[in-house]
Every structure is written in C-alpha cells, then in structure tokens.
Amino acid sequence: MMQAVCVDVPGGPENLLLRSVPRPQPKDGEVLIKVHATALNRADLLQRRGLYPPPPGESDIIGLEVAGTVDTLGPGVKRGWKPDDRVMALLCGGGYAEYVAVPEQLLMHVPPNLTLCQAAAIPEAWLTAFQLLVFVAQVKEGEVVLAHAGASGVGTAAVQLVRLFGAVPVVTAGSPEKLKMAESLGAAAGFNYKEESFAQGVHDFTGGKGANVILDCVGGSNWEQNVSSLAVDGRWVLYGTMGGRAVEGDLLGKLLSKRGHLLCSLLRSRSLQYKADLVEAFSQTVLPHFSEQGSFLKPVIDSTFNLESIAEAHGHMEANKNTGKIVINVIPQETQ
C-alpha cells in the first residue's frame, strides 16, 4: 500500500483527501518510481473540480510530474535504468502519491547539480514550453516571442528557452514582482496586463512589427490584443483558456489580414510515442544546459508544501499567488 491524494467528490481544495491505496505494479516497459516530490499544474485544479479527467486507462490520482528514485523495473525495460537512479518523469496522472509506474521512455535523468525538489519543477512546465516553442511554433533565432503568464511555471521556462534558442522573450504578468522575476530570467520587456495594454507595449517594443510567436494560456479575454500584437505571418499558439473560451467579434477577419496562424496544442492527451519523442529531444538539446558551468537554465520554485498540506497548496495556486512552480515534497526534505 501507499499514501496518495484522492478526490471522491469534485470540488474545492478541501475535497483533496490523503489516504492509503494499493501501490501500482510496473507493467511491461514501465519503471516504478519512489516519489520524493511532485509539482502543481493548472490542469490539477481542473481535474480536482471534475473538469479535466485523465485519459482512458490512466491513473485517476492527480499529478502530471514527479522526481524521485527508481524503485523497481517492470519486465521488458531496455534503457539501462537501475534501482536508486535519480529520475524525473512526465505523467498522465498519479503524481500525488508515494509511488508511480511510468513508461521508461518518459523518464529523464536528474541533472547532478539539482535536488529532487528542484527536479520536480521541470517535467510538465519545461516540456510544455519546449513543445510549444520547438514542435509547434518552430521558433527561429531573432524572433520575438510573447509569453503570457510570464511568471508561471511554463512562462519562466519559456523565457529561458527562448533565450537559449537565440530569440527574444517578452512577457505579460499581473504584478510588478512577477515582471521583475521574468526580466531577471532574461525577458527583454514585460507588460502588466492589469494596468496597461500589452498590445501597445509589444507594438512599441518591436517598432510596430509585432511578435512572431505568442504563447497563450489565457484565450478568450485576450484575443483582440493578441491579434493586434501578432506580426504578419505570426504564430499564435493557444494552450489554455484561463481567460474564457468564448470569442465575440471579428477574430477571423483580423487574423486573416495578418495572415496569422492559430495553432492549438495540449500535451496530456498526446500519444506515448509523441511524448517519448518530446522527452528525447528535450533530453538531448536542453537538459545538458541545466548542469553546464555558467548556464542560465534553472527551474523557478515559488514555494514548497508537504503532501499533508496539498489543499493549502491548491489554494495558493488558485489565488494566483505563485511566481514559478509550487512543489509538493512527498518525502519531507530533511529525509531526502
């Protein structure tokens, strides 16, 4: 058996219950991870409310990423993983627990200079940002990339990746402190969407040319400013709808006049092969930069909570208080 966070009735953070459930057994090609830490994602809040169920056949325990150590290997594991290897992994679910079974293709080695707590902040946010920039937008050197929610987990990863790829990151965020954090990571400009028009900010920054790529987790409420911010032939990448799904007005006409590309992407519902290719590409091109001397890549951690305080952690994210990732220590840090 193991401890895990369960949701019997969809609802608020108070509906998250810690209890004993059967420990998963690794199937063919899977590795059982002893979880040291997991991290929160917006999708977790939606799943808790019953709005984002796991894909068919996946664990109904919340949690899309973990870091920990290899416990046992299932039959048919081919990639040379060994017990006690320090690993981090992308999941379809099951992260809020003491153990999780993961297809071996979705495991990554933890960079030697990072703690397991830091590593837990990497898989979902960094793989999402990498996917959006490389697989979807195909960002090029010198392009301007506008990232909304620039102080979020995905936002802080995107700023650093855009810099790594030789492009120029600009961000929106809702407070001066969040903008300052994004700028410390390499954002060339930041706009407080609560106090100013980010479209005007992008226009001024680019000399009227606009952003070549927009990473948008907001959706509906931003559409007019997004189209206004977009460069001719620009790529607007939608990966969330925190600002609503409904759109009223001349979206298609305005997008057409810019010859704009509207690209939509999710990660959780992708095939195992797609995720394996993503993990492989990230491991080859980005992961080494976390441990290089003088490298500027780092996971940004807002706060840490123990598993018993998971409801408090969810409340912290729902209040939009976090800058960077909220990490949950499944094993208290002093014993890691």
CATH number where 190 lies = 3.40.50.720
Last residue of a domain, one of 236, 264, 292: 264
Phi, psi of 129 (to 5 degrees): -60, -40
At residue 320 the predicted structure's pLDDT band, cuts being 50, 70 and 90, is confident
Question: CB atoms < 10 A from the CB of 276, how many?
Answer: 16
Does 294 score more than 80 pLDDT? no
- The last residue of one of the domains, among 222, 241, 264, is 264
For 44, which DSSP code? H
334 falls within a domain = no
In a domain, 335, yes or no: no
The whole domain housing 278 covers 2-125+268-329
Same domain flag for 70 and 173: no
Mean pLDDT of 31-58: 95
User: Which domain-ending residue is among 221, 249, 264?
Assistant: 264
Tell me 132's DSSP state.
I
pLDDT-derived band at 298, boundaries 50, 70, 90: very high
How far apart are alpha carbons 92 and 74 in whole angstroms? 18
Confidence (pTM): 0.94
How many angstroms separate the CA atoms of 19 and 97, rounded? Answer: 10
- Asked if residue 195 is part of any domain, the answer here is yes
Same domain flag for 278 and 256: no
pLDDT for the residue 182 = 96
CATH value at residue 115: 3.90.180.10
The radius of gyration of the chain from alpha carbons, rounded to an integer in Å, stands at 20
Q: pLDDT tens for residues 176-233?
A: 999 999 999 999 999 999 999 999 999 999 999 999 999 999 988 889 999 999 999 9
pLDDT for res 144: 98
CA-based end-to-end distance of the chain:
20
Encode burial over 88-102: b for 16+ CB neighbours within 10 A, e otherwise: bbbbbbbbbbbbbbb
CB neighbours of residue 59 within 10 Å: 19
CB 125 within 8 A of CB 302: no
- Express each pLDDT in 71-121 by its tens digit: 999 999 999 999 999 999 999 999 999 999 999 999 999 999 999 999 999
Q: What percent of the chain has pLDDT over 70?
A: 99
What average pLDDT is seen over the chain?
95
Per the CB < 8 A criterion, the answer to whether 118 and 333 are in contact is no
How many CB atoms within 10 Å of residue 62? 29
pLDDT at 293 over 80: no
Average pLDDT over residues 258-282: 95
